[in-house]
Amino acid sequence: MAKRKKIKVNKDDAAERVKKIWPVLKKTYPGARIALNFKDPLELLISTILSAQCTDVRVNMVTKDLFKKYKSAADWASADLNEIEEGIRSTGFFRNKAINIKGACTRIVGHYDGKVPNTMEELLTLPGVGRKTANCVLGDAFGIPGITCDTHVIRLSRRLGLSENSDPVKLEFDLAEIVPKRNWTAFSHLVITHGRNICNARKPNCPECQIAKHCPSANNPDLW
């Protein structure tokens, strides 16, 4: 397979491109939201940890019963590790996820009075929580703007010429400079939804893409 070419990114052009695609994506996906089911910050935190290398559909199936059994951080912290493992086994990497969930909840109980903290700095002290998970919790549970750089956001940002970075943290900082802060959370959901519906990994549906005219890689397989 021929090596794909990289799109050279100019920050001013990228910012202008965001301005053009933003209203189109908003109109196309007015109901774009996080696909994980949750009722509070703790449930979203647990769900996001479980979603690593697992579909949101599977996570929702698993948490439907789990959240009836474990209703607080204290419940998770005091739970038997083997029981947690069995409950989340179908999400994959269940041993590490169980350790992280129990560890995160133990810290929440011991350092944050049983409540999920609402700052990036504090969230990053929890086992198993990186910037992607923290931004997800901040944006969708607390209404604090956050850019969630999942696989769809990484892929589309490069195809759209918004960033040359595939590293999630570097990409997050790149996008933070060109997307208005008030739109960070919504922008993430719109891009993720577009990635799932149109701009998939193997063969993006450029002919039906609503933002193709603003995309430098549209209809060009060498840049996919």
Token pair in block for residue 69 = 């059994």
Domain boundary among 94, 126, 141: 141
Q: State how far the Cα of 192 lies from the Cα of 63, in Å rounded to an integer.
A: 22
Same domain, 135 and 185: no
Q: State how far the Cα of 199 lies from the Cα of 60, in Å rounded to an integer.
A: 24
Same domain, 161 and 109: no
Token pair in block for residue 111 = 């350092």
Same domain, 187 and 151: yes
Contact 36, 60 (CB under 8 A): yes
Active site residue 150: yes
Q: Is the pTM value of this prediction over 0.75? A: yes
- Here the CATH number for the domain that contains residue 119 is 1.10.340.30
User: 């202008």: which residue's tokens?
Assistant: 16
- Here the CATH number for the domain that contains residue 186 is 1.10.1670.10
Domain boundary among 141, 159, 179: 141
What is the H or E stretch that residue 43 is in?
helix 41-50
Same domain, 178 and 211: yes
Same domain, 129 and 168: no
- Residue 1 located in a structural domain: no
- Residue 29 located in a structural domain: yes
Domain boundary among 107, 141, 175: 141
- Residue 19 located in a structural domain: yes
List average pLDDT for each run of 10 residues in the chain, which is 224 residues long. 70 97 98 97 98 96 97 98 98 98 98 98 98 98 97 96 96 98 98 97 94 93 77
CB-based contacts of 98: which residues, under 8 Å, 6+ apart? 81, 84, 85, 88
Same domain, 46 and 25: no
Same domain, 24 and 90: no
Q: Which domain does 119 fall in, by range? A: 41-141
- Residue 6 located in a structural domain: no
Same domain, 49 and 91: yes
Output b/e per residue, 42-58; b: 16+ Cβ within 10 A: bbbbbbbbbbbebebee
Q: Which of 102, 132, 140, 174 is catalytic?
A: 132
- Residue 5 located in a structural domain: no
User: 């994980």: which residue's tokens?
Assistant: 36
As to burial, measured by CB atoms within 10 angstroms (0-12 exposed, 13-18 middle, 19+ buried), residue 134 is buried
The helix/strand/coil state of 172 is helix
Q: Which of 13, 56, 75, 150 is catalytic?
A: 150
Same domain, 64 and 155: no
pLDDT at 195 (0 to 100): 97
Q: State how far the Cα of 16 lies from the Cα of 131, in Å rounded to an integer.
A: 26
Q: DSSP letter at 125?
A: T
* Count of structural domains within the chain: 2
